[in-house]
Structure 1
Amino acid sequence: MFSWMVWTTPVAVFFSCIVLMLVGMTVWELKSPTVERKGFLPLRTTRGDRLFIGLMAAAWVNLAYVGFGEKAAQWLSLDEPPSVWIGFAASMLVLAFVMRKG
């Protein structure tokens, strides 16, 4: 079923975190319904809106990091590309920032 995708540890952790966030947000919404609020985003958002926007931003950060990893290794004369865990951590920081301040 999932043989088309390369399931490395970072990929599995990334998708597991997304699933856990969705489950956690569902439970949180059932316990405490959300209200719209205005943050730095140019629209009023709920927790679910901010989660979606944050996940999209995190995915783009992660993809950009993976895409530029090879180039960074060449530019900085590294023996191998930087660890994908750095991109994962950066994407989770972006997600946390959007959830908190968005």
Structure 2
Amino acid sequence: MAWMAWTWPTAIFFIVIACLLLTMTILAIKFPETPRRGILRIETTRGDRLFISLLGSAFICLAWLATFGAPLWGALIVCLVYAAAVFRWV
């Protein structure tokens, strides 16, 4: 696995994604939901909103890197606010 250049931040990223997927699976089993319509006027479930927030967060981080450079702490805060907005209104 040395060719993949695993570092602690990379490992933590994938562990967090795995934990999010596990949490969404447990929530779907314990508390089934019906899709809802938000401001985008499409039916979304928790998993859809997670995907939208992860995809948007990737673009936010890329834009942050292009604009401000390496430390991504500000981008992390923006991503968390964006994810909260997606889960609330989309």
Gaps of 5+ in 2: none
Gaps of 5+ in 1: 71-80
Amino acid aligned to 2:76? F
Q: Which residue of 2 aligns with 1:85?
A: 73
Aligned residues: 90
Greater strand proportion: 2
Q: Which residue of 2 aligns with 1:19?
A: 18
CA-based RMSD of the aligned residues comes to 2.1
Higher relative contact order (CA 8 A, sep 6+): 1
Give TM-score, length-normalised by structure 2: 0.80
Structure 1 CA distance, aligned partners of 2:34 and 2:19? 22
- Partner of residue 95 from structure 1, selected from 53, 70, 83: 83
Q: Identity of paired residues, percent?
A: 33
**CA contact under 8 A between 1:14 and 1:88: conserved in structure 2?**
no
Give TM-score, length-normalised by structure 1: 0.72
Match of 2:48, SS? helix
Rg larger for: 1
